A = this chain, B = another copy of it.
């Protein structure tokens, strides 16, 4: 496994050598190669680490030989020497694995310090305090990392001295105090390790190097690798680099800069620096840093050098860079550069600008954007500065993004009536149910104490593009009392609260909100995305309103109209209940006839909104008991019995007879249509009559009728026949182009998709139910253990948010393959929550699906993710993934 070359000077490598030199080593080599002023150094390869573990923690004799050779070269390049009485060399020793493992392994700075060198440095820098401070830091790190001494004991010693002298901050310590501290540290070191603090820099280096190799196998690192699927035989490299200091006087300094503005994306140099300071001082925020432009006045030559580097970096890396620099006695050093983090808005602007500047291709621009981050561009947000000043009352789950400010109400009725009076309201509920839909519509935000990311509230709110925080379990909800309490605070009806649906935070009071800006750059990049994309993007929409929004966001059709929400509307719920309580077919038909005109109106609205685009309409899916009052809603039952001219007892009996032990696996979906075909007949008739009616107005309706929860072809066949019969009866046959298809939600359907494909026109994976049944846990109940499961890495992500590719995904892949063997071009899509998840979209593209459908506000995200998947597949480019 080991080659004979074990040590590389930075100038000998480049970024392609990540596996051998580790990420940091390859990056330092690349910067060096690019001609950037990087402090000199060398990298000991990952092969050495592998050999170290293979040979029982021993090194080849070659290693020390090559390392000494590298030290000699380093001394020559820097003009410094270990232990030199005039210009002593200090180095840092850092880990660096092929995959980023932030903070998991060890680092040692200021190596080369000893009792003599500290004095030399005090003299040459004329700064004894700096020399002593560097020495005490080195002793602590060496003791802790190499000798595994307890870091706390060192910190306690320092606290004692600070306490004795009545000071609080480290930088208030005087030279005298530091001198005392160094002596005490050396004593402590001896006490803890039974040896004197080692004075020979070469011995220090060898021992530090091996400590870094050992840290590859520390507990934290092992767990991190297991969770992140980093193979343990990759090993880490060790980087040895000349130390440079920005705190050696007023001609020194340190800073952080971005090649463009990471907040707005503006193509303008952006950064901060502090003179006579170390990197951590900039971050700590004790002194206020200067803007990078101000350096021009202080050190004009260095500033010009930085400006040149900015250009060079972008030309070399083809992306906005975030870099760290240090100035040591007017000499500029580059310590690190990496792709800079940026807001979604900046990401869009930078990507478009860079294409226009000829720095990157359109494909690269599309690949650059993080699809999930687009959410920020599509929803209201709190003003960033105002948010910094606010303290959240509590935090729930970020169930549906955006920001909302309004008066709290505690039931759907109040939400409607308050909204009718012009109030902005936030609906707070223990959990929502289908009866709350209208109240949710009337609210600007929804807050629930119970329920996860896929609870009713969360799903419906995302569908509406409405801000929602769910599962706020610190809240004790008192709906009847119209108040909630949280950590002692009481929030009453009418009180103003603010919800951040993007973070899950809940605030008392009002926080200023900024509107989303759909700038021209955003449109440009989405247009590029559409050029590359092959997967069609549809939307899940139950209303003309949602359909319109989604169409504006680029939806190419509706992938799922859920008809059950329509059944709950106050104008028709009575007829629905009448149907359920009917004693015979005739009674059911009579009640259904009352619902039919409403259904036809629903579909006319949706067809009109989607003129010319296909619309998948799912037949009634939920178990019938969902439409009845609950068994303990005595008052509702009594009212209903009067309305329907029956007795409360009879209604209670129906409720009891419809009770299910596992409603998820109960009498729902196409099972309803198989047993009560008249319900589906009514829906299909309403669809065809709606299509005919809008056609007369010149609108093109393309209904796709979807049978849910099919597990067996023999459930489907008679229902498809029913549909064709109604098409004839209504006169739609030959006039309206329609198709009939099925959802794939039941594992049995996926397993027999070849049999289904022979008969159906299209298939659509209902991945929520498919996940529930394939993994054997219901999304409502899994909250009890799924958190623990994700924490333990049993599932990498919540499988209700991102498709479990190794399980559910395997089944989907199998089903697509089987179906395409029978009917090559069959339309296969996905609807449900997963359709808007970028990783899932990529997976759907890769297994050869035709379309995905997601909530309106996720349509742009899905478009982008689909484009990225297509580009990656075409170019085999998985670099992107690796760089994350």
Q: Which A residues fall within an 8 A CB radius of B?
A: 660-667, 671, 674-675, 709, 711-712, 714-715, 745-748, 751-752, 769, 772-778, 780-782, 784-785, 788-789, 792-795, 804, 806-808, 810-811
Tell me the nearest residue of chain B to A669, going by C-beta: B776
Given the contacts A662-B663, A711-B807, A807-B712, A747 and B769 also touching, CB distance less than 8 Å: no
Tell me the nearest residue of chain B to A746, going by C-beta: B776
Residues of B within 8 A of A675 (CB): 785, 788
The smallest C-beta distance from A671 to any residue of chain B, in angstroms, reads 5
CA of A811 to CA of B804 in the docked complex: distance in angstroms?
A: 18
A-B contact sample (7 more), CB < 8 A, given A712-B775, A748-B808 = A661-B780, A662-B663, A663-B781, A666-B784, A711-B807, A748-B774, A773-B776
Given the contacts A674-B794, A776-B745, A788-B675, A807 and B661 also touching, CB distance less than 8 Å: no
Given the contacts A751-B810, A751-B811, A808-B748, A666 and B711 also touching, CB distance less than 8 Å: no
The smallest C-beta distance from A140 to any residue of chain B, in angstroms, reads 36
The smallest C-beta distance from A786 to any residue of chain B, in angstroms, reads 9
CA of A570 to CA of B201 in the docked complex: distance in angstroms?
A: 73
Interface centre among A665, A795, A810, A811 (most CB of B within 10 A): A665
Q: Are B660 and A781 in contact (CB under 8 A)?
A: yes
Q: Are A665 and B667 in contact (CB under 8 A)?
A: no
Residues of B within 8 A of A776 (CB): 665, 709, 711, 745-748, 769, 773
The smallest C-beta distance from A456 to any residue of chain B, in angstroms, reads 11
Could you write out 9 A-B pairs with CB less than 8 Å apart? A662-B780, A662-B781, A663-B781, A709-B776, A711-B775, A711-B807, A712-B794, A747-B775, A748-B774
CA of A663 to CA of B666 in the docked complex: distance in angstroms?
A: 13
Q: Are A785 and B674 in contact (CB under 8 A)?
A: yes
Residues of B within 8 A of A806 (CB): 752
Residues of B within 8 A of A664 (CB): 661-662, 665
Tell me the nearest residue of chain B to A716, going by C-beta: B794
Residues of B within 8 A of A811 (CB): 747, 751
Tell me the nearest residue of chain B to A793, going by C-beta: B714
Residues of B within 8 A of A663 (CB): 661-662, 781
Tell me the nearest residue of chain B to A664, going by C-beta: B662
Tell me the nearest residue of chain B to A623, going by C-beta: B781
- A-B CB proximity, top 7 nearest: A746-B776, A666-B781, A665-B778, A662-B778, A748-B807, A714-B794, A661-B780
Q: Are B715 and A794 in contact (CB under 8 A)?
A: yes
The smallest C-beta distance from A822 to any residue of chain B, in angstroms, reads 15
CA of A842 to CA of B408 in the docked complex: distance in angstroms?
A: 64
Given the contacts A775-B746, A806-B752, A665 and B665 also touching, CB distance less than 8 Å: yes
CA of A666 to CA of B804 in the docked complex: distance in angstroms?
A: 18
Residues of B within 8 A of A794 (CB): 674, 712, 714-715
Tell me the nearest residue of chain B to A672, going by C-beta: B785
Residues of B within 8 A of A785 (CB): 667, 671, 674-675
Residues of B within 8 A of A667 (CB): 781, 784-785
CA of A516 to CA of B773 in the docked complex: distance in angstroms?
A: 44
